Amino acid sequence: MPPSVPNKIIHCDCDCFYAAIEMRDDPSLRGIPLAVGGQPSQRGVIATCNYEARAFGVRSAMPSSQALKLCPALLILPPSMERYRTASRQIMAIYRDYTDLVEPLSLDEAYLDVTGVDRCQGSGTLIAREIRARVARDVGITVSAGVAPNKFLAKIASDWRKPDGLFVIHPREADAFVSALPVEKLFGVGKVTAARLHELGVKTCGELRGWSKLDLHRQFGSFGQRLFDLCRGIDTRRVNPDQERKSISVETTYVHDLRTLDDCRRELGVLIEQLARRIERNDAGAWIHKLFVKLRFDDFSRTTAECVSATLDAAQCLQLLATGFKRRSRPVRLLGVGVRLADDAAMRQFKLFDD
């Protein structure tokens, strides 16, 4: 049998998308610290910010009040979703001009499978370069792109030379590239998990490869299998153009564990507010079918409590929290809340865009 042809996956990610659209439409905003998000007086959070703001430590998902403390000159604009959706439709149309295998992850981010595509001499690198040039010319913003043999590596590559960058990981280079990666670069490894790995003497993927599946499972539960694969650059997920949103959720991993149920209740209130805004942005309120609350405890065990509900009911969420917490009664390192959507929600095609 002839050798299999390596996959060519491109991950495209617009640079500070919401802020980029605002600066495109109002050039006077260029060069100043700018963010898009909610106002501090309404316990708002930052959706995105430009690189001038990031220089002060401002980040997405950060409370707006904290962002202003870091950068008092920060200008926070409310989101203008219709303009963002219009730009997103233009960008996705450019992607689909090269391949039907486009998997949008959000308004500004997508995977493309260009394996076997004849355009640009069949080169994933040349396709990514041409896509970036077209988006800059036709939409007026920049896109960073990564080209690699799988989705995991392509996503890492797109972030490697941000903003306005292109990075390619060739199949022959992938093993050595991943081996040298800090464990913080692995998908799903946040500050808490990274700190735990460092305590175990593991700082790079090469060092993590010395751990067996069994040992990783003992330390990290089911996530151990994922760590075992990712530190070797293994990712068999396909680019799925028909992916439908079946749930909407928010979650946070805490630097310091939430030790009591009351601690969890206070944090859940913040998460519920964030979830409500996300549901509103997606116009999904009419399609709520269930509520769920997810907890991951300090020993990495986890549980999810859910119930049928047609609305985002804070009281029901608190009851679910109490149910889940009681199952282990241990400190909580991750807390999440979300809604599952009715099956017929897909008929409205509200996944990312409005027609």
What are the residue numbers of the active site?
A: 109
User: What pLDDT does 256 receive?
Assistant: 87
Q: Which residues are within 8 A (CB) of 330 and not within 5 positions of it... i.e. 6 or more apart?
A: 297, 298, 299, 301
Tokens of 310: 């047609």
Measure CA of the first residue to CA of the last residue in the chain; give whole Å: 46
Is residue 353 pLDDT above 60, yes or no? no
Q: Which residue has the higher pLDDT, 342 or 143?
A: 143
Q: Please give the Cα distance from 191 to 22 (Å, whole number).
A: 31
- 191 pLDDT band (50/70/90 cuts)? confident
Yes or no: say if 282 and 350 are a contact pair by the CB < 8 Å rule: yes
Res 43: pLDDT: 65
pLDDT band at 344 (very low <50, low <70, confident <90, very high): very low
Q: What are the phi and psi torsion angles at 166 (to 5°)?
A: -140, 130
What does the alpha-carbon distance between residue 126 and residue 285 come to, in Å, rounded to a whole number?
A: 42
Is 283 annotated as contributing to ligand binding? no
pLDDT score at 44: 74
187 confidence band (pLDDT: 50, 70, 90): confident
Q: Which pLDDT does position 245 carry in this prediction?
A: 64
According to the model, what pLDDT value does residue 87 have? Answer: 95
What is the pLDDT, as a whole number, of residue 63? 84
- Going along the chain from its start, the domains and CATH numbers come out as 1-169 (3.30.70.270), 175-230 (1.10.150.20), 247-348 (3.30.1490.100)
Q: Which residue has the higher pLDDT, 107 or 155?
A: 155
Q: How far apart are CA 268 and CA 335, in angstroms?
A: 7
Q: Tell whether residue 159 is among the known ligand binding residues.
A: no
Confidence of residue 342 (pLDDT cuts 50, 70, 90): confident
Q: Residue 112 phi/psi, 5° resolution?
A: -130, 130
Per-residue pLDDT at 39: 84
Tell me the β-bridge partners of 305: 293
How many C-beta atoms surround the C-beta of residue 67 within 10 A? Answer: 26
* C-alpha–C-alpha distance, residues 24 and 14, integer Å: 13
Q: Is the pLDDT of residue 345 over 50?
A: no
pLDDT of residue 4: 63
- For residue 310, what pLDDT is reported? 83
Peptide bond into 63 cis (omega under 30): no
Confidence tier at 243 by pLDDT (50, 70, 90): low
Rounded (10°) angle between helices 81-96 and 124-138? 140
Mean pLDDT score of the chain, rounded to an integer? 89
